[in-house]
C-alpha cells in the first residue's frame, strides 16, 4: 500500500513493486503483520516532506526472515546480520518505512529476534512502540526507581506500553491524560494507570493527585499548550520528555531562564536520529523492552486488526484520534502458522 502524493487516507493505494534484495548487513523480511503508527499519518500528510514516486510507509512489522544479506566488512559491522537466519521470526523497526508490504528490507541491527512467548501479531505491533517507550523513559527522561510519571496520549500505542514499562522500571505512580472520559476509563483498565485525567484540566488534577509536589517525568508526544503546561507540573529536577507533535501545533518558542529558576529539564527523543547515530543503543532498548513483554510485564493491547488493503480505514481512525491501544495490518497471517525455525546463530536474544 503506497502513496505518491500527500493527502487524506484515500491517497493510499495498492501497487505491485518488485521484491527488494537485501544488501550488506540487511535482511529481507516476509511481513506477517505491520503496526499502524501516528508517524505514518504524518508521513502521508507530508509532515516529513513530499513522496518521491510510489512510497510505502510503515515503521514496524513482524514476520519471517526470507533472505539474509552479506556480512559487511569491519570489526563491529555484521554482528546483527550473523544473529539471524532464514526462517527466524523477527520484529523489525523500519527507519525508512516499507512495512505496509509483503516484503521489506531491514537493516539487520533493527531486526529483533522475537521471543517464543510473543506471536507475530504482537511482534507487528511492538518494534517501534516498545523501543520508543523504552528509549523515552530510560534514555531521554532518565527514569529512576521511585519516580512519578505523567503520560500524555495515555490510551495510545506508545502511551499504553510506556505506562507499563514505567512501572517495570520502578515508577512509584503513573498518571495519564487523554481527550475523553471514555478513553480515560479504557486506559485505566487496559494499562493500570493510577489515574487518567481528561487533558483540558490536567495541571490542576496532577497537582491534586501529587499533593502539590508535581511529577518527576512527563512524556509528551502531543505538543502546543499541553507541552507548555507540562513544564508547570514538574517536581524539582523533573523532566519533560518531548517525542512527538500529534496535535500538529506550531513549535513553541520558549525562554530558557525558567528552566534554571525552577529546576526543570526539557529533553527529547527521536528514534530516527538514534538509528543513524547510536544503532546499538536502539537495539539494546528494543531487546530489553521485548524481554519485558515476553515476561508478561508489558502487554500490547491490539484493539483493531485490518487487512493490508484496508490501511486507509486504519489511518482514518488514528488520524482522527479515535484509536485505542494498538492497530495492526494483517499482511500474511499464514506466516504465523509456520513452525519455528532456528538457524545456528539465531538463539541469542541479546545479539547486539
Residues lying near ligand NAP in the complex (CB under 6 A) are found at 37-39, 128-129, 132, 153, 155-159, 178-179, 183, 221-222, 243-244, 246-247, 269-271, 318, 321, 323
Cβ-proximal residues to 315 (8 Å cutoff; 6+ apart), any chain: 9, 12, 36, 40, 41, 44
Q: How far is the CB of 137 from ligand NAP (least distance, A)?
A: 13
- Quick one: 70 or 201, whose CB is closer to ligand NAP? 201
- Quick one: 158 or 286, whose CB is closer to ligand NAP? 158
8 A C-beta contact, residue 20 and residue 28: yes
- Quick one: 78 or 95, whose CB is closer to ligand NAP? 95
- Nearest to ligand NAP by Cβ — which residue? 156
Q: How far is the CB of 71 from ligand NAP (least distance, A)?
A: 28
Cα dihedral 75, 81, 84, 86 in deg (nearest 10): -140
Q: Exposed/middle/buried for 198, CB within 10 Å: 0-12, 13-18, 19+?
A: middle
Q: How far is the CB of 282 from ligand NAP (least distance, A)?
A: 10
Q: How far is the CB of 11 from ligand NAP (least distance, A)?
A: 18
Paired with 220 in beta bridges are 242
CA distance 326 to 45: 20
Give how far Cα 11 sits from Cα of 101, 273, 306, 311, 322, Å. Answer: 16, 28, 17, 11, 20
- Quick one: 30 or 330, whose CB is closer to ligand NAP? 330
- Quick one: 7 or 23, whose CB is closer to ligand NAP? 7
Q: How far is the CB of 261 from ligand NAP (least distance, A)?
A: 28
Amino acid at each position: 500500500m503506497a502513496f505518491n502524493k500527500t493527502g487524506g487516507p484515500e491517497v493510499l493505494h495498492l501497487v505491485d513493486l518488485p521484491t527488494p534484495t537485501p544488501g550488506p548487513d540487511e535482511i529481507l523480511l516476509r511481513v506477517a503483520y505491520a503496526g499502524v503508527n501516528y508517524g505514518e499519518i504524518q508521513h502521508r500528510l507530508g509532515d516529513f516532506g513530499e513522496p518521491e514516486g510510489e512510497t510505502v510507509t510503515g515503521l514496524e512489522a513482524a514476520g519471517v526472515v526470507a533472505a539474509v544479506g552479506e556480512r559487511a566488512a569491519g570489526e563491529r559491522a555484521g554482528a546483527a546480520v550473523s544473529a539471524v537466519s532464514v526462517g527466524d521470526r523477527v520484529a523489525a523497526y523500519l527507519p525508512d518505512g516499507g512495512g505496509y508490504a509483503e516484503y521489506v528490507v531491514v537493516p539487520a541491527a533493527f531486526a529483533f529476534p522475537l521471543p517464543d512467548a510473543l506471536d507475530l501479531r504482537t511482534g507487528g505491533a511492538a518494534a517501534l512502540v516498545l523501543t520508543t517507550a523504552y528509549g523515552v523513559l530510560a534514555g531521554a527522561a532518565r527514569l529512576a526507581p521511585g519516580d512519578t510519571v505523567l503520560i500524555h496520549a495515555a490510551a495510545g500505542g506508545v502511551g499504553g506500553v510506556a505506562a507499563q514499562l514505567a512501572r517495570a522500571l520502578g515508577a512509584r505512580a503513573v498518571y495519564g491524560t487523554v481527550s475523553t472520559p471514555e478513553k480515560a476509563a479504557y486506559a485505566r483498565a487496559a494499562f493500570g494507570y493510577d489515574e487518567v485525567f481528561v487533558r483540558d484540566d490536567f495541571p490542576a488534577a496532577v497537582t491534586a493527585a501529587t499533593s502539590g509536589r508535581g511529577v518527576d517525568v512527563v512524556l509528551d508526544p502531543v505538543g502546543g499548550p499541553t507541552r507548555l503546561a507540562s513544564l508547570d507540573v514538574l517536581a524539582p529536577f523533573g523532566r519533560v520528555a518531548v517525542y512527538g507533535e500529534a496535535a500538529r501545533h506550531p513549535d513553541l518558542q520558549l525562554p530558557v531562564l525558567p528552566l534554571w529558576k525552577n529546576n526543570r529539564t526539557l529533553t527529547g527523543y527521536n528514534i530516527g536520529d538514534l538509528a543513524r547515530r547510536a544503532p546499538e543503543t536502539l537495539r539494546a532498548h528494543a531487546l530489553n523492552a521485548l524481554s519485558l513483554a515476553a515476561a508478561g510485564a508489558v502487554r500490547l493491547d491490539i484493539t483493531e486488526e485490518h487487512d493490508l488493503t484496508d490501511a486507509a480505514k486504519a489511518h482514518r481512525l488514528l488520524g482522527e484520534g479515535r484509536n485505542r491501544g494498538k492497530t495492526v495490518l494483517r499482511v500474511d497471517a499464514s506466516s504465523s502458522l509456520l513452525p519455528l525455525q532456528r538457524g545456528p546463530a539465531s538463539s541469542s536474544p541479546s545479539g547486539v
